[in-house]
A and B are shown apart, each in its own frame.
Chain A
């Protein structure tokens, strides 16, 4: 279980200038099976994303794309030692920062 320290993720992610940097972030809409990294927000949280957050998909958490359903959607994610599936479009506000990157930091 990898969780960021609170002060590091305090900043509002949805208005973060960093998100516009291409390549660094991989939107959940576009991930493939096997992709993994630290979760980050690239859009505003709607009810579905809030539900996912309450299930542990919070900024900075480590997620892995375990598999993709036959027609490319939904996708199955592994987080906090369990698996959850989501539709790509419904998780469009989420992105992952590829492995190797450090725990995401805010703009503070």
Chain B
């Protein structure tokens, strides 16, 4: 009979593909192991909690296809956050559309065995076959920690394999053990609970039997008894109010037995672990101070730590600025060249030419120009993450950001957003707490990104510097970079209080040891980030560029061009005292006059385009901020990408679309621009109002698309609405209050 059983189980497991899941504490090298097993290169970082979502891959083992699931790291099955819930769902077979895994590969840090095995003992009780991996074996050896893994295997009843996943050591043994375990289904010995706990479980099962149709496992019932707060107890109590009573009654058994129900689990498990590991594990009694600890003394020092932190951030920020500039120029020049080549090739079909050159190439190129910044930023982030610096930065910054609902981990994404909110929002993935992560994502676009800089430079150069001199102009530029940050903190506070109701999740962060980053992993991650960004530019930005182009191009009636030409000819004829025919000839023959006419025609087209009409219709909305309809058009046109305002203002002020922020002609044209009553359009006050608007407004399709991908479209829409509202309020406040003072 046993032989028959064995045979039947063998045939059944051989005929189908198997599923295994990697489970373990954060930062134990699960993702590195996953990459080694499946050959895929999922990101691996020295930062607890990098696997925010589940990743799955496939490996072939002895002719069998095996799905490998990489689950988020967690410390306990008392799931508090959504990523921990994922693990619980997968283990209990309650994940949507997914059967329970056939085998759990528990990955533990060999140098921190006791704490890691706490989770393993919980997982064992779920009753799924298990293989135990003692990863980072080399790090344990380095600290003279020895583990008699053969005895451990004998005591637990499951295979125990030492590995060094980052270097690929022990993988063959692991694969062999996995293949064997899939056939033999070894189950791990776990904690035997004291009688009061067993009584309480039985009592609770009886108690819930009357009021709840669901069948609860011992594991689920114990979670209800032990956890003060957690998904299992939340579900059961919300199901029926009486459940709370039954749970309290059952807890009485534990209390009568002399245990505190909130402490009994940890005490019993750690007690069991102590017995389990007796004579197996040897740790140096007095560990000598490691190099990492001395580094830590410096990096997390009250004074030096903060200075070093500021210095590192300055270097990152400055490098992004400096190193990216030449590459950005190349890309920009490349797209200009492409535009001119394609432009002349399509000269015969002006509409197609405009679509491709002004729409697609200008739109996509305007975004791709930020690729070097993205690459450099992610190079630094990856380096800091892999080396293990990020948790230290989070430790330093937690107090500064914690009060408003952000966490120390929010700081890096926010800082990244000073270069570009797109990688900043992506960097928020490192925040485990979903609420703090969402808050961070929502405030990241408020940081003054590099695309705002051209707008500031243009407006300060035109209106602030002439009035106040270069020192104040420099200060204003500096201040503009602080507006967003200053607003972000109270905004985050409000989000947490009003929008994202609920309790603030605690800050419990493990400090991983420092590690030398692996070049291969780093290069891959930077590459995959860059690729993601380019794909985004090729899809979302591409589509948006065409839409905006169409709105600013059509209807483009011939009458518009004709009336502009007629007006120009009439004016020239009047000023020069010549006939209209000669004036027309003069315009056609003189290239500079022809260029002026063309610019004016473009401006007229824009004015009568759907976008132009919209600008005039919407202008009353922006009147309290002192914007005329042209600025309004510029503001509206720059919603897909804020830099667009420069080329838009260029068109509107009759200078053609091809101007840069240093173009003094645009500056003089804007300085000369007057309203119909003769007063100048721009004053320093209008310029500041406009800059505040740009500082706070969500004018970046790429960012909104990224927010949508990192959260969902509703939150992207919310970001757009709140930032636009904030920008309008800010601009109006500046203009109205300023008007009273000036």
Neighbour of A74 across the interface among B266, B267, B306, B395, CB < 8 A: B395
Considering the complex, give the chain B residue whose CB is closest to the CB of A83.
Answer: B511
In Å, the complex CA distance between A53 and B267 comes to 8
In Å, the complex CA distance between A67 and B506 comes to 19
Q: Report the interface size for chain B: residues with CB under 8 A from the other chain.
A: 52
Q: A9 on the interface (CB 8 Å rule)?
A: yes
Question: CB distance A58 to B263 under 8 Å?
Answer: yes
**When A6-B271, A13-B263, A70-B399 are in contact, do A54 and B283 touch as well, CB less than 8 Å?**
no
Residues of B within 8 A of A54 (CB): 75-76, 78, 118-119, 265-266
Q: A85 on the interface (CB 8 Å rule)?
A: yes
In Å, the complex CA distance between A9 and B511 comes to 28
Question: CB distance B396 to A81 under 8 Å?
Answer: no
In Å, the complex CA distance between A97 and B228 comes to 25
In Å, the complex CA distance between A10 and B267 comes to 8
Residues of A within 8 A of B111 (CB): 81
Chain A nearest Cβ from B417, distance in angstroms = 23
Q: B80 on the interface (CB 8 Å rule)?
A: yes
Question: CB distance A86 to B507 under 8 Å?
Answer: yes
B246-273 contact mask (Cβ, 8 Å, vs A): 1 or 0: 0000000001001110110111101100
Question: CB distance A69 to B262 under 8 Å?
Answer: no
Q: B245 on the interface (CB 8 Å rule)?
A: no
Q: B398 on the interface (CB 8 Å rule)?
A: yes
Residues of B within 8 A of A69 (CB): 300, 302, 395-396, 398-399
Q: A47 on the interface (CB 8 Å rule)?
A: yes
Question: CB distance A80 to B112 under 8 Å?
Answer: yes
Chain B nearest Cβ from A58, distance in angstroms = 5
Chain A nearest Cβ from B130, distance in angstroms = 19
Q: A41 on the interface (CB 8 Å rule)?
A: yes
Residues of A within 8 A of B399 (CB): 69-74
Q: B227 on the interface (CB 8 Å rule)?
A: yes
Q: B684 on the interface (CB 8 Å rule)?
A: no
Question: CB distance A87 to B506 under 8 Å?
Answer: yes
In Å, the complex CA distance between A86 and B508 comes to 5
Neighbour of B114 across the interface among A1, A47, A76, CB < 8 A: A1
Question: CB distance A87 to B260 under 8 Å?
Answer: no
Neighbour of B76 across the interface among A51, A58, A70, CB < 8 A: A51
Which A21-51 residues sit within 8 Å CB-CB of chain B? 41, 44-51
Residues of B within 8 A of A99 (CB): none
Residues of B within 8 A of A86 (CB): 506-508
Chain B nearest Cβ from A86, distance in angstroms = 6
For this complex, 18 residue pairs linking A to B, each with C-beta atoms less than 8 Å apart, are A41-B263, A47-B78, A47-B506, A50-B76, A50-B229, A51-B80, A52-B508, A53-B263, A54-B118, A55-B75, A58-B263, A59-B267, A67-B296, A73-B402, A74-B395, A84-B508, A85-B391, A85-B395
* Nearest 3 Cβ contacts at the A-B interface: A54-B76, A53-B266, A47-B229
Measuring CB to CB, which residues of chain A are less than 8 angstroms from any residue of chain B?
1, 3, 6, 9-14, 41, 44-56, 58-59, 66-74, 76, 80-87, 90
Measuring CB to CB, which residues of chain B are less than 8 angstroms from any residue of chain A?
75-76, 78, 80, 111-112, 114-115, 118-119, 226-230, 255, 258-260, 262-263, 265-268, 270-271, 274, 283, 287, 296-297, 300-303, 305-306, 391, 395-396, 398-400, 402, 408, 506-511
